[in-house]
Chain A
Amino acid sequence: MAKNKQRPAARTVPKKPAVRPSSAQRRFARPRLILATIALVVAGAGAVSLSLLGHQSASASAAAPATASISPDSMAAVETVDGMALPVREYELFLAQDRAETFAYFQQHYGVTDSATFWTTAHGGQTPTKYLENAALADATKACVQQVLAAKYGVVSGFSYAGFLQAWQAQNASRSAALAAHKVVYGPTHYSESDYFTHVSAQIAEQLQTTLASKGVVKVTDAALESYYTAHKAQFASGASGPAQELEPKAAGPSAAATAVSFAQVKSVVRQYYVQAAYEALVAQRTKQAVVHVDQSVLAGIAIS
């Protein structure tokens, strides 16, 4: 998600390319490794900022996209979240992710299925298009909030969707190269854009939780952990303490009733849960407080069918 309120356009991070990019190509972000886990980069938004650059000085010519796969339109801002822009292409990931739920909702509540007019027919005062837009915007807004937090606390140096795309392409290139060299590749041999985004977002969230705890933003005290453990004791109970009973050769009875595990035994796990719950509450709170402005004309230009 580009940070176009506080950052001018076109910061690029070259990874010592063999051939220097042209001045036009430099406008977009290139991947870099941070914390050995996340490849994200500082960059500005595409189309919006480019037009501003145009009138600043003679040397700042209108730039062509860095790579053919990133069109200026797909980087236009659908909405801003606390001043930070969500580009169309990132928003489209959420449209894809929430599509099945949209079909299911209208099927369950109104008995309608896909048809030539499915997306534009209103039921209960709402079209599936509008339902999907709202669902995707809500999820995308929350993702933006997490990215803001990640940048603020130094988990990433900044987040831009253009940088994410470069990192994604680099990730797949390295997977292809590893496969060609008969090396090990864990997980998918090739990430879809959506799956890689999910993967990176999960990594950011995990790292952010650790960072928030170590910086004291999420206060982890023994008292808080104990009371969390007590409130969720059933969750930490475990099954039979004897040998595991994954499969019994004879017809065996049900597994032993769950027995409580002591706080000390699961303290590190309780801490993980506690921090995760506190983190999710923090994100929910920040999402509620976020100032969101939707660009209706850009939104309307995104076809849903």
Chain B
Amino acid sequence: MKSTSRRIRRTLITALATTAALLCGMIPQLAASASAATCTTYYISSSSGSDSNSGCSSSAPWQTLTNVNATTFAAGAQILFQDGGSWTGTLHPLGSGSSGSPIVVSSYGSGNAPIIAGAGAAEAVYLDNQQYITVENLEITNNASSAAARSGIEVQNDTSGILNGITIANNNIHNVLGWWSSSENEQPTNSMGIAFNLSDSYTTNGWNGVTISGNTLTDDDAGGIYVGSLAGNNHGIDTTGVVIENNTLTDVGGNDIVCVFCQGATVQYNVATDSGYRYSGAGFWTAVSNNGLWQYNDISDQWREAVDGQAFDFDWDTSGNIMQYNYTHDNPYGFMEFCCSNSAGSTGSIVRYNISQNDGAANAVFGTLGGATSSGTTQFYNNTVYMGPDDNGAVTGGSANGSNMYFDNNIIYDLGSGGYSGTGTWSHNLFYGNHPSSEPSDSSKVTSNPLLVSPGGGGATLASAAAYELQPSSPAIGAGELISGNGGADFFGNSVSSTAAPNIGAYNGSGVTPTASESGAFWPLSEGTGSTAYDQTNDHNTMTLGAGASWATGDTEPYALALTGGSTSYAQSTAPAINTAGSYTVSAWVKLNSLSGNQTFASIDGSHISPFYLQLSGGVFAFTLRSSDSTGASYVEVTGLAPSTGTWYQVTGVYNASSHTASLYVNGALQNSATFTSPWAATGKSSIGRALWNGADVDFVNGDIGDVRMYNKVLTSEDILALGTGAAAYFPFNEGTGSSAYNLIQNTAPADFTGDAAWAGSGHGSSNSVALDGTLGTTAFSPSAAVNTAGSYAVSVWVKFTTISSSANNTFVSLDGNARQETNISPFYLQLASGKFTLAERSSDSTSSTLTTITGPSATTGTWYNVIAEYNAGTDVAYLYVNGTLAGSASFSSPWAGSTTQFGDAVWAGAQVDATSGDIDDAVLYNRVLTSSEISELAAG
């Protein structure tokens, strides 16, 4: 493991000289080593050392492992391997340190960590009956042509007693080709990345003070870290003071971190992923151990090769262990299990304040509950469990042996089809999503939407578990029951009172308001094949196509859904994509084959009906909202134009909960609005191509539907204009915070702020815009070409100048070329040249290309202008409009495609030029020419 700074430790020497002399008198020299007891710090250099050197200085280092392995070192000795070096074989220095004065194996110099390559030996680093030793800062491998029982670091106790003070820290242990067969009926404590192995000849041996921290273990078999013995049995719980923390495990072959015979172990802050594919085991587990703390670990993608495979396992003969504050996700065989039976199982475990996302898909989230004994009390409380629509695993598996298992204050958010194994006493839990008949009875349960900030939104990082905080209006807040001895803190570090009722779930704060980007759905419907349509905003609104739903050519996307009007010809997800009790927007592109009957393009299921219907009704487009979940509810129907068959239209419905207004847009143009005051939250499936009425599916669409979106907010009229006119990209520049401007159309990357770009605090008729200060490198920059300039295209942008250069150009929209950096330019420059609006077109990606310009009127500072550049590839004519008025046109016949998009300066000969000083807003880009009415609408703002 390489670190940026290395320090060679210096220990106190004065006391040691005496000690060393005493030890030297007591311990016979094992070899004619010239240096035994004459150094306190030993240096070994593989490239420039010699074993006939003294080894006592970096100018006279040893070279190989031979002298090291033949030396019995004294307390306080340091054994330092030179950075950049490499040694093959087993490193096995002899001797023990003393309390406070360990023997330290480490590195010196600068460069790569010293490599100890076991090259197939039973161990790369081996300690046997030694104590008070630290091994740190090494790179350790143990590879061979075939797998066999072998370890990276193996620490052995063949005594009948306790060995103390062993620290394994900050090592990089990778490619240990170990092996284990579970048919051998022994544990793999001789074949791990890091193994602490007790001889089974005694029942009383153990360790005291084992610290395993900061190590990186990658591709190690048969697993990561194991403290135990081969028999795994017949020892007292005599190992104490174990701390295993801050280790990173990736792709270890089987067991990740195991502690057996451990009293009060602490296993925390470890990250493990992608492990368990080659050898059996669970991720993090313990057996014959008491009072351990397994906390603040992050485990994902754990696999089951033969048995187990859960992220956690409190195994047989465990008592009083706590599993808390862990974040686990995507472990198909479950978050945790107990093992193994009432007579040999786990007693008095506490599982609390954990967050589990999409675990258990091939098994159960809480598995093998029959592995808990009937003694004591086994508790699961204040956990948050999310199972997405693809996670059809069980919530609980196995049956408790007694009536001593309790589930309290847990959130079970289950969109899959799995059920419960009917065990445990449940109280004050929140069950949301699917309610299988096996759901436990819970007289104090809550079943409303817990309003998690972003259900299913947890990612690869700890910070992303914030998705499982609660929104301020969550019914889970304060709805839990007080648990005695609850530990006093939740997953996020909020305090948990010892007297007041807590929340349900792992979050005990007062609520967090999610940002708009965390909600809603966008189905591009661009798959073109198969029966699944993905939500591009996240994975938890995946749509499944019913029989009779297939694919056709799309309009804004290459494909669209093709529906027949048949009663199963639609697509649906398993959850509501938006909250229809608040403000929301729903939109879709539709091309109808038939104009008869009601055909609903998008909706969400309530229990009996849908809260809204974006549809064709009575031959016209309509946005119909119903005032309650009943066929008797009153309604408003906002109507629009009558479409023709065989033509694509973009239809958008908006509900504004502040103004109580429902509006319908077609092709970006407002059709109508109406007052509506009774929105309600539908909690059922989202659907494309049908709706719900009187508890049954209705309104089947006969036609094609593409590009469906749902937002938990009101889209502005500019947003809807961009969507409704099929823009290729639209940057509203409204966020006001952060350093990135999103592209509403979402087909290309957002525009990041560079240089001094900042939010202006106001915009053209909107809340914000991007402010540029006229320095080169100050831009909003998107790494994608927002528009394809090899064909027809149009770019519309609002710009207000702060200063206008009379000599240099000020380019406010351009692309980058593709040529070698020293020559590349932009296909076009939308700019001020000599203070006048100009569209410059270039015939090729070269500074020697031909220039075509259209010059418009002069600009003045402090005024918003709408500027549109357009190129018609069919007629080879380019156009420039300022404020909706044609400024000029020119022939241009050599279009070519650019690669990246910038707002605020441009590139010429591979360098930045043409800085703009001013604000830019509402950039809409199209891969076609605009109609004159579209130009007027854009210029009207």
Contact residues of A with B, CB < 8 Å? 4-16, 20, 23, 26-27, 32, 34-37, 41-42, 48-49, 52-53, 56-57, 59-60, 83, 96, 99-100, 103-104, 107-108, 113-116, 118, 151-152, 154, 157-158, 183-190, 192-195, 199, 202-203, 206, 210, 213-216, 219-223, 238-240, 243-249, 251-255, 258, 261, 264-269, 271-272, 305
Cβ contacts A to B, 19 pairs, < 8 Å: A5-B818, A6-B821, A9-B912, A12-B755, A15-B739, A32-B738, A36-B463, A41-B752, A42-B781, A49-B911, A104-B117, A115-B47, A193-B2, A194-B2, A221-B531, A244-B307, A246-B313, A246-B315, A246-B340
Instruction: Select which of B119, B532, B756 is within 8 A of A220 by beta carbon.
Output: B532
Q: CA A220 – CA B271 in complex, angstroms?
A: 30
Q: CA A95 – CA B750 in complex, angstroms?
A: 34
A-B contact count (CB 8 A): 324
Closest to A252 in B: B185
Contact residues of B with A, CB < 8 Å? 1-4, 46-48, 64, 84-88, 112, 115, 117, 119, 139, 141, 143, 174-175, 182-183, 185, 187, 214, 216, 232-233, 246-248, 250, 260, 269-271, 273, 280-282, 285, 287-288, 296-298, 304-309, 313, 315-317, 325, 327, 330, 332-333, 337, 339-341, 344, 358, 361-362, 367-368, 370-371, 390-392, 398, 459-464, 493, 524, 526-532, 534-536, 539, 738-740, 748-750, 752-756, 775-777, 779, 781-784, 816-822, 824, 899-900, 907-913
Given A8-B910, A216-B528, A247-B339, residue A13 in contact with residue B752 (CB < 8 A): yes
Given A104-B88, A269-B332, 16 further pairs, Cβ under 8 A: A5-B821, A6-B818, A10-B777, A13-B752, A100-B115, A184-B296, A186-B462, A187-B248, A187-B270, A188-B248, A215-B524, A243-B339, A243-B371, A246-B282, A265-B362, A305-B47
Instruction: Select which of A49, A115, A255 is within 8 A of B280 by beta carbon.
Output: A255
Q: Is the CB of A214 within 8 A of B824?
A: no
Q: Is the CB of B280 within 8 A of A42?
A: no
- Which B residues are CB-close (under 8 A) to A42? 752, 754, 781, 783
- Which A residues are CB-close (under 8 A) to B270? 186-187
Q: Is the CB of A6 within 8 A of B526?
A: no
Q: Is the CB of A267 within 8 A of B390?
A: yes
Q: CA A187 – CA B268 in complex, angstroms?
A: 9
Q: Is the CB of A152 within 8 A of B391?
A: no
Q: CA A113 – CA B87 in complex, angstroms?
A: 8
Given A13-B752, A56-B911, A240-B307, residue A185 in contact with residue B269 (CB < 8 A): yes
- Nearest CB on A from B536, distance (A): 5
Closest to A102 in B: B86
- Which A residues are CB-close (under 8 A) to B526? 215-216
Q: Is the CB of A11 within 8 A of B269?
A: no
- Which A residues are CB-close (under 8 A) to B459? 35-37
Q: CA A266 – CA B88 in complex, angstroms?
A: 43
Instruction: Select which of B362, B817, B818 is within 8 A of A269 by beta carbon.
Output: B362
Closest to A69 in B: B4
Q: CA A5 – CA B845 in complex, angstroms?
A: 13
Q: Is the CB of B308 within 8 A of A221?
A: no
Q: Is the CB of B740 within 8 A of A32?
A: yes
Q: Is the CB of B754 within 8 A of A13?
A: yes
Instruction: Select which of A99, A195, A267 is within 8 A of B216 by beta carbon.
Output: A195
Q: Is the CB of A103 within 8 A of B298?
A: no
Q: Is the CB of A244 within 8 A of B754?
A: no
Q: Is the CB of B464 within 8 A of A247?
A: no
Closest to B784 in A: A154
- Which B residues are CB-close (under 8 A) to A215? 524, 526, 536
Q: Is the CB of A255 within 8 A of B182?
A: yes
Q: Is the CB of A247 within 8 A of B370?
A: no
- Which B residues are CB-close (under 8 A) to A245? 182, 307, 339-340
Q: Is the CB of B285 within 8 A of A246?
A: yes
- Nearest CB on B from A172, distance (A): 9
- Nearest CB on B from A193, distance (A): 7
Q: Is the CB of A264 within 8 A of B392?
A: yes
Q: Is the CB of A247 within 8 A of B316?
A: yes
- Nearest CB on A from B193, distance (A): 15
- Nearest CB on A from B804, distance (A): 17
Q: Is the CB of B141 within 8 A of A158?
A: no
Q: Is the CB of A187 within 8 A of B306?
A: no
- Nearest CB on B from A216, distance (A): 5
Q: CA A74 – CA B214 in complex, angstroms?
A: 28
Closest to B820 in A: A5
Instruction: Select which of A37, A57, A115, A192 is within 8 A of B460 by beta carbon.
Output: A37
- Which A residues are CB-close (under 8 A) to B87? 113-114
- Which B residues are CB-close (under 8 A) to A253? 185
Q: CA A251 – CA B119 in complex, angstroms?
A: 33
Which 8 pairs from chain A and chain B are nearest by CB?
A254-B183, A221-B530, A114-B46, A239-B306, A239-B307, A154-B749, A11-B754, A187-B271
Given A104-B141, A213-B534, A255-B182, residue A266 in contact with residue B307 (CB < 8 A): no
Q: CA A60 – CA B915 in complex, angstroms?
A: 12
Q: Is the CB of B362 within 8 A of A266?
A: yes
Q: Is the CB of A246 within 8 A of B527?
A: no
Q: Is the CB of B462 within 8 A of A11?
A: no
- Nearest CB on A from B696, distance (A): 27
Q: Is the CB of A23 within 8 A of B183?
A: no
Q: CA A59 – CA B87 in complex, angstroms?
A: 54
Q: CA A213 – CA B233 in complex, angstroms?
A: 47
Q: CA A156 – CA B587 in complex, angstroms?
A: 27
Q: Is the CB of A100 within 8 A of B141?
A: yes
Closest to B295 in A: A184
- Nearest CB on A from B252, distance (A): 15
- Which A residues are CB-close (under 8 A) to B821? 4-8, 48-49, 52, 83
- Which B residues are CB-close (under 8 A) to A248? 316, 340, 344
Q: Is the CB of B332 within 8 A of A268?
A: yes
Q: Is the CB of B753 within 8 A of A13?
A: yes
Instruction: Select which of A15, A20, A157 is within 8 A of B750 by beta carbon.
Output: A157
Given A187-B298, A258-B306, residue A239 in contact with residue B752 (CB < 8 A): no
- Which A residues are CB-close (under 8 A) to B339? 243-247
Instruction: Select which of A26, A243, A264 is within 8 A of B340 by beta carbon.
Output: A243
Q: Is the CB of B86 within 8 A of A269?
A: no
Q: Is the CB of A266 within 8 A of B818?
A: no
Q: Is the CB of B304 within 8 A of A238?
A: yes
- Which B residues are CB-close (under 8 A) to A32? 738-740, 752
- Which A residues are CB-close (under 8 A) to B824? 5-6
- Which B residues are CB-close (under 8 A) to A35? 459
Q: CA A36 – CA B139 in complex, angstroms?
A: 32
Given A15-B739, A114-B46, residue A7 in contact with residue B337 (CB < 8 A): no
Q: CA A103 – CA B233 in complex, angstroms?
A: 40
- Which B residues are CB-close (under 8 A) to A261? 362
Closest to B750 in A: A157
- Nearest CB on B from A205, distance (A): 11
Q: CA A13 – CA B899 in complex, angstroms?
A: 20
Q: Is the CB of A192 within 8 A of B913?
A: no
- Which B residues are CB-close (under 8 A) to A60? 776, 911-912
Closest to B46 in A: A114
- Nearest CB on A from B800, distance (A): 22
Given A15-B739, A157-B740, residue A107 in contact with residue B112 (CB < 8 A): no
- Which A residues are CB-close (under 8 A) to B187? 247
Q: CA A60 – CA B85 in complex, angstroms?
A: 45
Q: Which of B260, B298, B818, B821 has the most CB of A within 10 A?
A: B821
Q: Is the CB of A12 within 8 A of B287?
A: no
Q: CA A280 – CA B748 in complex, angstroms?
A: 23
- Which B residues are CB-close (under 8 A) to A183? 493
Q: Which of B273, B287, B755, B820 has the most CB of A within 10 A?
A: B755
Instruction: Select which of A8, A96, A254 is within 8 A of B112 by beta carbon.
Output: A96
Q: Is the CB of A186 within 8 A of B296?
A: yes
Given A99-B112, A115-B46, A193-B4, residue A104 in contact with residue B185 (CB < 8 A): no
Instruction: Select which of B288, B306, B390, B539 is within 8 A of A238 by beta carbon.
Output: B306
Q: CA A251 – CA B782 in complex, angstroms?
A: 64
- Which A residues are CB-close (under 8 A) to B112? 96, 99
Instruction: Select which of B280, B536, B738, B749 is within 8 A of A157 by beta carbon.
Output: B749
